[in-house]
């Protein structure tokens, strides 16, 4: 069964390739959704997959790429949006 997770990651997670590494990991695992930087310095992810794949994806999110320092990770189950792929979104500056 496919689930949707809303994930917020805080720490040194911007400017270290976190979004690109997240996309690469999602593509490799078959996770669908989005990743974007937030104004407060966190990274927001929406991820959809089965429980096994989401667990593997969350393992990556707890660590991030080399140079990242994840201080906290929060995830909550949300409404399924049926994403077709995984995209890096630009932060809305307005």
Distance CA 61, CA 6 (A): 12
Distance CA 42, CA 94 (A): 17
Instruction: Mark whether 37 is an active-site residue.
Output: yes
Q: Which of 12, 19, 91, 92 is catalytic?
A: 19
Q: Which of 12, 37, 90, 92 is catalytic?
A: 37
Instruction: Mark whether 92 is an active-site residue.
Output: no
Return the closest-CA partner of residue 33 out of 86, 91, 89, 93.
86
Return the closest-CA partner of residue 20 out of 80, 28, 58, 8.
28
Distance CA 28, CA 43 (A): 20
Which residues are identified as catalytic? 19, 37
């Amino acid at each position: 069964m496919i689930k949707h997770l809303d994930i917020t990651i805080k720490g040194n997670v911007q400017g270290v390739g976190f979004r690109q590494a997240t996309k690469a990991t999602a593509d490799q695992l078959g996770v669908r959704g989005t990743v974007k930087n937030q104004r407060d310095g966190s990274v927001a992810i929406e991820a959809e997959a089965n429980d096994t794949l989401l667990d593997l994806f969350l393992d990556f999110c707890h660590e991030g790429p080399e140079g990242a320092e994840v201080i906290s990770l929060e995830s909550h189950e949300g409404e399924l949006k049926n994403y077709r792929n995984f995209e890096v979104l630009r932060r809305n500056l307005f």
